Structure 1
Amino acid sequence: MTVATTTAAPTIDLLDAASFANGQPHDQFAWLREHDPVHRHGEPDGPGFWALTRYDDVRHVARDPATFSNSPSVQIADVHGDGAALGDHQMMLMMDPPRHSRYRKLVSPDFVPRSVRPLTHRVQALARQIVDAVIERGECDLVDDLAGEMPSLVIADLLGMPLADGRELYKLTELIHAAPDTVPDGTQLNAAIKMFTYASDLQAAKRRNPGEDLSSRLLAAEVEGHRLDEMDFNLFFMLLIDAGGDTTRQLVGGGMHALFEHPDQRAVLTADLDGRLDTAIEEMLRWVSPVVYMRRTATVDTELRGRKISAGDKVVLYYGSANRDELVFTNPQTFDVTRSPNDHIAFGSGGPHFCLGSHLARVEIAALLREILTRMPDLEPAGPTEWLTSNFISGPRHLPVRFTPGPKLGA
Structure 2
Amino acid sequence: MAQQSAAAGRTAEPAGPRSPESGGLPDISDIDLSENEFWARPLTERHADFARLRSHPPQFFAEPDMGPLPPGPGYYALVNHADVAEAGREPGVFASQPSAISIPDMPQDFAEYFGSLINLDDPRHARLRRVVSRGFTPRMLARLQEDVERHAARIVDNLLGTGPCDFVSQVAARLPLVVICEMMGIPEDRHEEVLANSNVVLAGNDADYLGSDAETAMARLLEAGENLSRLLAELAAQRRAEPTSDLTSALVNANVDGESMTDQEVGSFFILLAVAGNETTRNAISHGLRLLTEYPEQRELWWSDFEGHAPAAVEEIVRYASPVVWMRRTLTRDYEMNGHTFREGDKAVLYYASANRDAAVFDDPDTFDIARKPNPHLGFGGPGPHFCLGAHLARREITVMFRELHRRVPGIRAAAPPRRLASNFVNGIKSLPCEF
Establish whether TM, by shorter chain, passes 0.5: yes
Deviation at 1:195, TM superposition (A): 1.4
For 1:234-313, list aligned pairs within 5 A.
234-313=267-346
Q: How many residue pairs are counted as aligned between the two chains?
A: 396
Equivalent position of 1:85 in the other structure: 112
Q: 2:172 aligns with which of 147, 154, 158?
A: 147
For 1:352-363, list aligned pairs within 5 A.
352-363=385-396
> 2-side partners of 1:171 and 1:284: how far apart?
25
Equivalent position of 1:399 in the other structure: 432
SS at match of 2:54: helix
353-362 or 89-98: bigger deviation: 89-98
Q: 2:97 aligns with which of 68, 71, 83?
A: 71
Equivalent position of 1:7 in the other structure: 26
- Specify the code of the residue in structure 1 equivalent to 2:342: I
Change (3 A) 1:90 1:377: closer
Equivalent position of 1:38 in the other structure: 58
Q: Is the 8 A contact 1:195 1:238 kept in 2?
A: yes
Q: 2:88 aligns with which of 26, 47, 62?
A: 62
200-209 or 6-15: bigger deviation: 6-15
303-312 or 388-397: bigger deviation: 303-312
Deviation at 1:319, TM superposition (A): 0.5
Q: Is the 8 A contact 1:41 1:50 kept in 2?
A: yes
Change (3 A) 1:377 1:31: same
190-199 or 346-355: bigger deviation: 190-199
Q: Is the 8 A contact 1:10 1:27 kept in 2?
A: no
- Specify the code of the residue in structure 1 equivalent to 2:105: D
Equivalent position of 1:321 in the other structure: 354
Q: Is the 8 A contact 1:380 1:402 kept in 2?
A: yes
- Specify the code of the residue in structure 1 equivalent to 2:30: T
Is 1:53 the counterpart of 2:79 in the alignment?
A: yes
Change (3 A) 1:310 1:141: same
Equivalent position of 2:140 in the other structure: 115
Deviation at 1:18, TM superposition (A): 3.6
Change (3 A) 1:344 1:226: closer
> 2-side partners of 1:152 and 1:131: how far apart?
15
- Specify the code of the residue in structure 1 equivalent to 2:418: T
Deviation at 1:299, TM superposition (A): 0.5
SS at match of 2:250: helix
SS at match of 1:324: coil
Q: Is the 8 A contact 1:277 1:366 kept in 2?
A: yes
Change (3 A) 1:270 1:18: farther
Alpha-carbon RMSD across the aligned residues, in angstroms, is 2.1
Is 1:179 the counterpart of 2:179 in the alignment?
A: no
Q: Is the 8 A contact 2:128 2:261 kept in 1?
A: no
Change (3 A) 1:373 1:382: same
* TM-score of the two chains, using structure 1 as the length reference: 0.91
Equivalent position of 1:29 in the other structure: 50
SS at match of 1:325: coil
* TM-score of the two chains, using structure 2 as the length reference: 0.86
> 2-side partners of 1:371 and 1:37: how far apart?
45
> 2-side partners of 1:226 and 1:377: how far apart?
48
Equivalent position of 1:407 in the other structure: none
Deviation at 1:85, TM superposition (A): 2.8
> 2-side partners of 1:369 and 1:69: how far apart?
37
Equivalent position of 1:104 in the other structure: 129
Larger relative contact order (Cα-Cα within 8 Å, sequence gap ≥ 6)? 1
Structure 2's unaligned 5+ residue stretches are 1-23, 66-70
> 2-side partners of 1:214 and 1:46: how far apart?
38
> 1-side partners of 2:189 and 2:49: how far apart?
40
For 1:91-240, list aligned pairs within 5 A.
91-180=116-205, 182=207, 183-184=210-211, 185=216, 186-222=219-255, 225=258, 227-240=260-273
Change (3 A) 1:94 1:115: same
Per-residue CA deviations over 1:247-269 (Å, capped at 9, x if unaligned) read 31110001111111111111111
- Specify the code of the residue in structure 2 equivalent to 1:65: P
Deviation at 1:23, TM superposition (A): 4.2
Deviation at 1:161, TM superposition (A): 1.3
Q: Is the 8 A contact 2:131 2:260 kept in 1?
A: no
- Specify the code of the residue in structure 2 equivalent to 1:201: E
- Specify the code of the residue in structure 2 equivalent to 1:316: V
Q: Is the 8 A contact 2:206 2:422 kept in 1?
A: no
> 2-side partners of 1:6 and 1:167: how far apart?
50
Q: Is the 8 A contact 2:155 2:170 kept in 1?
A: yes
Per-residue CA deviations over 1:158-179 (Å, capped at 9, x if unaligned) read 1011234233212212211222
> 2-side partners of 1:114 and 1:181: how far apart?
39
Q: Is the 8 A contact 1:176 1:188 kept in 2?
A: yes
